[in-house]
Structure 1
Amino acid sequence: MSNREVGALSSGEAFDLLRNPYRRRLVMTLLDHNPEDEASIPGDLTTDDEELEEMLIAMAHTHLPKLESLDIIEWNREKNVVTRGPAFDELRPLLELIDRHQDELPDGWL
């Protein structure tokens, strides 16, 4: 866990986090995810094995560290498990708004 103060997530940081489709899908999955259920990568995020490999590399080297540095997630690298972090609830209202209105969003936004 970082030394970051919970409650310090700015609107700019929140929108920046959600700008990337991989990060957006991950945090949207954590919104309703039961930690006891096995999670899988949504099929519509990748089209082939090469793209899947690129996405996994980007997640491990860019997206998960960014979310972890802001305390949105906690990431157990040994077990490759991601759970909600202490600052996840700062992002929750925006995620719930997106979730409630996803049918109204343009194609490709989620």
Structure 2
Amino acid sequence: MQRRKLLVALLEHNPQNDRPVVVGDGDGDGAAIAVEQLVQMQHVHLPKLEEYGFIDWDEDAHEVAKGPNFDEIRPLLELLDDHADELPADWL
């Protein structure tokens, strides 16, 4: 789910906008859950998405941008985003 949220956020992200892309679950509370999500993102999700070419990840600068293969999944992301209100809550 975190990967889908990140990819949809990148779909909607305007590089001209200086605000960072924020990806959070909102269904957890407490610092322990936030730390676990951050660890999962850094050590599991971001490396996999970069390996697939969907994102470019600058680990040192903590920046994520669309990768060379992002357009391959764009139609699916647009479909998910357009129908988010019709999908189960944990799909996006």
Q: Same fold (TM over 0.5)?
A: yes
Q: SS where residue 90 of structure 2 aligns?
A: coil
Q: Taking structure 1 as the reference length, what is the TM-score of the superposition? A: 0.75
Question: In the comparison of the two structures, how many residue pairs are matched?
Answer: 90
Of 34, 39, 50, which residue of structure 1 is paired with 2:32?
Answer: 50
Q: Percent of pairs identical after alignment?
A: 44
Is the 1:22–1:45 contact (alpha carbons within 8 Å) kept by the matching residues of 2? Answer: no
Q: Provide the alpha-carbon RMSD of the alignment.
A: 1.4
Q: Which amino acid aligns with 1:66?
A: K
Which stretches of structure 1, 4 residues or longer, exceed 4 Å deviation after superposition? none
Q: What residue number does 2:78 align with?
A: 96
Q: Taking structure 2 as the reference length, what is the TM-score of the superposition? A: 0.88
Q: What residue number does 2:45 align with?
A: 63
Is the 2:50–2:57 contact (alpha carbons within 8 Å) kept by the matching residues of 1? Answer: yes
Q: SS where residue 39 of structure 1 aligns?
A: coil
Residues in 1 aligned to 2:85 and 2:12: alpha-carbon distance in whole angstroms: 17
Q: What residue number does 1:86 align with?
A: 68
- Deviation per residue, 1:35-67 (Å, 9 max, x gap): 332222335153221011011111111100000
Q: SS where residue 82 of structure 1 aligns?
A: strand
